[in-house]
Amino acid sequence: MGKHIIRLFVFLALFIAVSGIISLQKEYVIPESIDEVEKVELSPEPEPEIMFSDLEILPGGFFVIYLKGITDRDEILLYTTLTQDKPRFFSYSEGKLAIAGISCRTKEGEYTCRVQVQRDGYIAAEREGILKVLPKEFEKQYLKVTAAQKSQRSNENFNEDRVHTERARAETWEKPLWEGVFLQPAEGRISTEFGMIRYINNEESERHSGLDISAARGTPVKAANSGVIRLSMMLKVTGNTIIIDHGSNIYTSYAHLDKLLAEEGTEVRKGDIIGEVGSTGFSTGPHLHWSATIGKTYINPESLMEKDPLEFIDAAQ
């Protein structure tokens, strides 16, 4: 019995020693010279940089976040009290950009915007900005309409239209398709400003979501900037409507058109004629209702006519 145990121990000891030598030889091969040491290439990864386009914004305006030096492994976390519609990041140049639209209902005050870039489980960059929303007064407008016109603005009709407009804005082109500032799509006087508080037959209605351009029936309507047509059809409230996707979550919409002259799915260039001014849907006379959204948030189209969202990024490169 004792002999067996001793033999077993000797065998085990020999086995451990031999396998140890084998594994040592496998793992530790001592290089003969320094030149034989395998060179590990360290990728020249830059530290991400977080940039904000503005620190003061008007209701109806927008601001841009740009992240420079981002890798595919990075996770971007964004927290802001400023928008309900969470800004989305898209590739641009050698980084990522996100545009945040400020609703006309945003109250004056200070809001937080915190961006964090996580890389391999660490915080590679972080920035917390305090964004100031400036005060802006919106005028009131009183409209008198007939019972037949009012029935056209029913909840059922709004909901039916929304199915189509939400589908049109569900996807966006990753890269910006617009070039420079947006142009006013039709010649004419601006009859109703963006964000106006509307009373229809003395009843407070929704805020005016776009700009009304007063023009004669048949006046050409141009694409305010380059993009892809995502919707071109007759809707109940907005009549003949076109929605253009300009990429990176910017859309413009053209309502009450007399004629639709661009098909869904086609590409348009800035200035291309896409329709004619009319008075289809809920409308009291020929005009173009032109609106702009960042995702689902309506912004003042004039802010896109004044400033190209890419301007500050290109200036910083």
Binding-site ranges for Zn ion (CB under 5 A):
212, 289
| Residue number, nearest CB to Zn ion | 289
Smallest gap, in angstroms, from Cβ of residue 235 to Zn ion? Answer: 14
Task: Give, in degrees to the nearest 5, the angle at Cα 133 between 132 and 138.
Answer: 165
Smallest gap, in angstroms, from Cβ of residue 206 to Zn ion? Answer: 11
For Zn ion, the closer CB: 73 or 144: 144
Smallest gap, in angstroms, from Cβ of residue 120 to Zn ion? Answer: 50
Smallest gap, in angstroms, from Cβ of residue 238 to Zn ion? Answer: 9
For Zn ion, the closer CB: 62 or 298: 298
Q: List CB contacts of 94: < 8 A, sequence separation 6 or more.
A: 68, 69
For Zn ion, the closer CB: 124 or 288: 288
Smallest gap, in angstroms, from Cβ of residue 91 to Zn ion? Answer: 34
For Zn ion, the closer CB: 88 or 207: 207
Smallest gap, in angstroms, from Cβ of residue 104 to Zn ion? Answer: 13
For Zn ion, the closer CB: 93 or 279: 279
For Zn ion, the closer CB: 169 or 289: 289
Q: List CB contacts of 317: < 8 A, sequence separation 6 or more.
A: 93
For Zn ion, the closer CB: 164 or 289: 289
Q: Is 98 exposed, middle or buried (0-12, 13-18, 19+ CB in 10 A)?
A: buried
DSSP 34: G
Smallest gap, in angstroms, from Cβ of residue 135 to Zn ion? Answer: 24
